Structure 1
Amino acid sequence: MSYETIIYEKKDTVAKIILNRPEARNAMTGTTFMEIGQALDDADKDDNIRVVVIKGNGKAFCAGVDLKFSMEQLKTLHDQEKFFRFGNSVMLEKMESMGKPVIAQVHGYCLAGGFEMMLAVDLVVAAEDARIGDQHINVGLYGAGGSPYRLPLLIGMRRAKDLLLAGRLLTGKEAEQMGLVNRAVPADELESTVDALAADMASKGPLAMRLTKAYINRAVQVDYTSRLEHSLMSCLVLNSSEDYQEAMKAFNEKRKPVFKGR
């Protein structure tokens, strides 16, 4: 499949989605939403793929939704509602709910809708000099991609209010210190760091990865007793799989397991 606004690559067990509008700091349009969603679907269905990396081409990760596109195509409230519901469904919610981990590789500007996308992935590695923030409030707007909900879950209410209400912009290093990104590294080490992380995660058992991600995401949605019950049932499901038998056999034979995802 050919794409207009992204590059989609698959190598070994890792899929990469590369935002490819560098002339616009990878600002997103409806086509971008659709193409990212299609790539995520393909990666999730491909049994050979274990990890997804999303990154930006050029000098930025993503500057948000393309304002020219917004002014030309999102003139009515109905247009806006349809557009943002579509983006949330095919992109942000899909990143959260898919069974494979999604890593954001952040450099340059990560703003507005790009920031919202960063919040929806599982892990974030950023360049130390990246510029990260929501910024909607600075121009009198409210983002439709869930920052006021997701951000407090990641860094707490006080810090979330500080970032969102003041419209603050953080460096990658500051974002790491706040717990907003997992790692901040020098810009020239960003690619290799993400590649190493993706390869390491891809070596883990895919069934265990899928279950663990799902129940971490549900941790804030269920009560304590339900959390324990879900954990127990997930453990039993995994222990009935071929991957579990392979893990035990590999441990006894003192070798790395070869997981098949079943």
Structure 2
Amino acid sequence: MTATIDNPPVNVLDAALITELRELLTTIRNDTNVKVTVFDSANPDFFIAHVDMALIDEPHAFDAIARDTPAGLNVFQGLGELVRAMPQVTIVKLAGVARGGGAEFIAACDMAFAASETAGLGQVEALMGIVPSGGAMQYLSTRMSRGRVLEIILGAALFTADEAAAYGWINRALPAPELDVFVDTLALNIARLPEGVAAAAKRVLPLADLASGFAREETEWGQLFANPAAERLIRGGLAAGAQTVAGERNLEALLRRIA
């Protein structure tokens, strides 16, 4: 199955998108006809931009989702853990840019493949005066060294697909003309395996227990989000063009100018 993200103009991760993703995942996780889910984007420039910064003025936007989120997790962590625990194989086909919550969603999936010429990943939260709160540091710590995780989080730069592949953030970078064929072939090959093989492989590679890290992440994020600096940076980013197509093309530079 292919699931296409389509939330114009830049696919921000807002309450509506999280709700739809959760509904999709909970629907298909017991569907034995679905062996592999490939996530891509209707927008070639953006996969999922990041969490909707405008939610700073909508503190109760996620209340309904929170009621259905497992204890000990916030709504963003809950989405990541829902993806991570899927019995089916999950694959991201990344043609454009994913930052913040979008990059966290990718890290929660089983595999990710990206176009060398056009794809990029970044965790920009530090430039907003906060730390990631959707599992970024927990997921990345299972893929790379502590030093590299800190470089990603505190450097707050946009990584090219080739750089992300070298760090283990994604499986590999491919020339853009080859991305579709490679991912589609891999997905079909997995889907055609004898019944139970892919699910067994996922069970043999058990999920890391990240519960304590999630709790620390939520605590630190909450303390930083309450600081006046975070509100100033987030509102300043929106005023300067964040979440517009033009502003998102170089969001890191936009946020650095405000800081």
What residue in structure 2 maps to residue 118 of structure 1? 106
CA RMSD of aligned residues (A): 2.4
Kept in 2: contact 1:43–1:52 (CA 8 A)? no
* Amino acid paired to 2:25: L
Q: Deviations over 1:99-131 (max 9, x none)?
A: 111001112211000011011000001111312
What residue in structure 1 maps to residue 119 of structure 2? 130
What residue in structure 2 maps to residue 104 of structure 1? 92
What residue in structure 2 maps to residue 56 of structure 1? 41
Please show how residues 38-77 of structure 1 align to structure 2 within 5 Å: 38-58=23-43, 59-68=45-54, 70-74=55-59
* Amino acid paired to 1:52: T
Kept in 2: contact 1:97–1:214 (CA 8 A)? no
What residue in structure 2 maps to residue 146 of structure 1? 135
TM-score (norm 2): 0.72
Please give the alpha-carbon distance, in whole angstroms, between the structure 2 residues aligned to 1:205 and 1:93: 26
Unaligned runs of 5+ in 2: 210-259
Compute the displacement of 1:134 (Å). Answer: 0.9
Q: 1:165 to 1:81 in 2, by over 3 A?
A: farther
1:30 paired to 2:15: yes
* Amino acid paired to 1:104: V
SS of aligned partner of 1:145: coil
Identity of aligned residues (%): 24
Between Structure 1 and Structure 2, whose CA radius of gyration is higher?
1
Which of 150, 153, 164 is the aligned partner of 2:153?
Answer: 164
Relative CO higher for 1 or 2, CA cutoff 8 Å, sep ≥ 6? Answer: 2
Which is further off, 207-216 or 142-151? Answer: 207-216
Q: 1:81 to 1:98 in 2, by over 3 A?
A: closer
Kept in 2: contact 1:50–1:206 (CA 8 A)? no
Unaligned runs of 5+ in 1: 1-14, 222-262
TM-score (norm 1): 0.71
Q: Which stretches of structure 1, 4 residues or more, deviate above 3 A after TM superposition?
A: 75-84
Compute the displacement of 1:93 (Å). Answer: 0.9
